[in-house]
Amino acid sequence: MKKALSLLLILTLLAALALPALAEGVPELTGTAELSGIEKYGNVKLSLSKQAFFEAGYAFGDVVTVRFLDRTMELPVCSNYSDVDAGQPALFARDADEAVSLAINMGDFATACGLAVKTTHEDKSYVWSWAEGVAGPVAFTIRMKEAGAYLSQFLLHQVSYTYEREDYAALSDEQYANFRAVETTGMGEGVLYRTSSPIDPKIGRSACADAALRAAGVTVVMNLADDEETARAYPGFDESYYAGVAFIALNMSVDLSSEDFNAKLADGLRFFAANPGVYAVHCTEGKDRAGFVSALLECLMGASLEEVSADYMRSFENYYGVKPGDERYNSILSGGIVKTLSSVFGVSDLPNADLAACADAFFRRIGLDGDTIAALKKNLSAAPTQAAPETQTAEETEYTVVAGDCLWDLANRFYGRPLEWKRISDANGLKNPGLILIGQRLRIPA
């Protein structure tokens, strides 16, 4: 497998190790933030280049004091979002960026820090505006707090993966795609799967993930990463197995505690509750957002924390080779799903908490009612049965939707082929084939 750290990064870390605890003579730096520098998920790019930042004497693993507006923050200097625990802010100098930025891992820095407000339009486009009382551009000052103070934690977070299949020769195609059945206590056999994106080719795993969906007979998908237009626009979508399943595209943020995330999560869970089938959950990597949603469902169905943790960490083994016994394992686990579940469940002693009750209470807080939660548990507790196909008539049929229907099952019932769902969708001009309503009347073409 390719080296996780480049030569430049190694040299930077060695230089940091040689620094005294308090670096003297490292100058204070300034940068400004424009609205145009605020990214989709609230990461804030500054007008300060990485080159100028490092040439001034700063290094990965340092802790810096950042001042802006009326705020003062002490932040570690990191190379990627995963260098800090979920929900933690940092100053980032990423390989993919020319400038330094301020962001929260799995969070929204601009909103959380009162910098700006995001408005999302019906067409999924968005615009940032300065928060009330803020006049941009906003000035930031950066000063060394303590050189190397975060270095040990920084090194523990250094995990990386490649997009090349040959770098994972020891893994099956399913493992390479981070595809697996969720087999924790209370979950029906072969009823829920989690995976990296079967349609987004960005990380080089979509073909393997799509083939795994087909082999598992998945019929209902919760897509956490894309809106429907984006999903259908990926190259090869129309020829994929994915194109024939019932899916809901939620385009969820990476801020797991935001109202927007919770509202969309509730929509996805209602979709699962209303559509019995063989399920899959995915984001892009199938690691963070999909890991969180899978963990919630595992908790609801009665899994122990040990089971939830083991399933969560399999993603880090598949991508990074981090296994039990690796010094990074417990750091990733405690800073990832354990910390996240403790936060959303509002418990300080997660190992001794009633996880099923916590998940039930959380789902009710985000808007699910008792009937929906009961339907969700019923659907996840046992593999669904396939409806026997009805004899196709020469006449067009009109059908009234009842609870539990989805186009996939209707196509199986009327045509004997679930992949014929698109005929029903096209005949009824459905904008979102993944959402049909109880009582809705559908034309079923002959």
What is the tens place of the pLDDT at every residue in 405-435? 788 778 877 777 777 788 888 888 887 777 8
Q: Does 14 score more than 70 pLDDT?
A: no
Q: Strands 180-181 and 116-120, how do they pair?
A: unpaired
What is the reported pLDDT for 137? 95
What is the reported pLDDT for 385? 43
Q: Which two tokens stand for residue 441?
A: 């009347």
- Show which of 156, 175, 210 is a domain's final residue: 156
Helix 407-415 with 421-428: angle, nearest 10 deg: 110
Size of the chain in residues: 446
Q: Specify if 390 maps to a domain.
A: no
Report the share of the chain in percent with pLDDT over 90: 65
Q: How far apart are CA 46 and CA 328, in angstroms?
A: 31
Q: What are the tens digits of pLDDT across the range 49-84?
A: 999 999 999 999 999 999 999 999 999 999 998 889
Q: How far apart are CA 124 and CA 174, in angstroms?
A: 32
Say whether 400 sits in a helix, a strand or coil: strand
Q: How far apart are CA 17 and CA 280, in angstroms?
A: 45
What is the reported pLDDT for 76? 96
The residue type found at 428 is N
The residue type found at 365 is R
Q: How far apart are CA 286 and CA 225, in angstroms?
A: 10
* Other CB atoms within 10 A of residue 229 CB: 11
Q: What's the rounded mean pLDDT across residues 301-318?
A: 96
Rounded to whole angstroms, what are the CA distances from 275 to 142, 195, 214, 246? 52, 19, 18, 9
Q: Does 10 score more than 50 pLDDT?
A: no
Residues 56 and 192 reside in one and the same domain = no
- Show which of 381, 415, 431 is a domain's final residue: 381
Domain count, the chain: 3
Residues 169 and 138 reside in one and the same domain = no
Q: How far apart are CA 191 and CA 298, in angstroms?
A: 12
Q: What's the rounded mean pLDDT across residues 23-40?
A: 89
What is the reported pLDDT for 384? 54
Domain containing 61: what range? Answer: 7-156
Q: What's the rounded mean pLDDT across residues 222-232?
A: 95
Q: What are the tens digits of pLDDT across the range 154-187?
A: 876 777 789 999 999 999 999 999 999 999 999 9
Indicate which CATH number applies to the domain containing 316: 3.90.190.10
For residue 130, give the DSSP letter: E
CB-CB contact of 291 with 199 (8 Å): no
Q: How far apart are CA 182 and CA 280, in angstroms?
A: 10
What is the reported pLDDT for 395? 65
CB-CB contact of 157 with 60 (8 Å): no
Report the share of the chain in percent with pLDDT over 70: 91
CB-CB contact of 320 with 160 (8 Å): yes
Residues 148 and 102 reside in one and the same domain = yes
Residues 302 and 348 reside in one and the same domain = yes
pTM over 0.75: no
Residues 172 and 105 reside in one and the same domain = no
Residues 338 and 404 reside in one and the same domain = no
Indicate which CATH number applies to the domain containing 422: 3.10.350.10
Q: Specify if 93 maps to a domain.
A: yes
Half-sphere exposure of 78 (CA within 13 A, CB side): 28
Q: Does 370 score more than 60 pLDDT?
A: yes
Residue of 75, 39, 94, 37 lying closest to 255 (CA atoms): 39
Q: How far apart are CA 383 and CA 343, in angstroms?
A: 32
CB-CB contact of 148 with 13 (8 Å): no
Furthest CA-CA distance within the chain: 85
What is the reported pLDDT for 15? 41
* Other CB atoms within 10 A of residue 259 CB: 9
Residues 352 and 218 reside in one and the same domain = yes
Q: What's the rounded mean pLDDT across residues 34-57?
A: 95
Residue of 180, 184, 193 lying closest to 304 (CA atoms): 184
- Show which of 92, 127, 156 is a domain's final residue: 156
Q: Which two tokens stand for residue 415?
A: 């045509």
For residue 320, give the DSSP letter: H
Q: Which two tokens stand for residue 104?
A: 């929260």
Query: End-to-end distance of the chain based on CA atoms, in angstroms?
Result: 54
For residue 338, give the DSSP letter: I
For residue 97, give the DSSP letter: -
Rounded to whole angstroms, what are the CA distances from 446 to 195, 345, 392? 36, 50, 7
Q: What's the rounded mean pLDDT across residues 380-392?
A: 54
Q: What are the tens digits of pLDDT across the range 89-123?
A: 999 999 889 999 999 998 999 999 999 999 988 88
Q: How far apart are CA 444 and CA 446, in angstroms?
A: 7
Q: Specify if 386 maps to a domain.
A: no
Indicate which CATH number applies to the domain containing 49: 2.40.30.90
Q: Specify if 98 maps to a domain.
A: yes
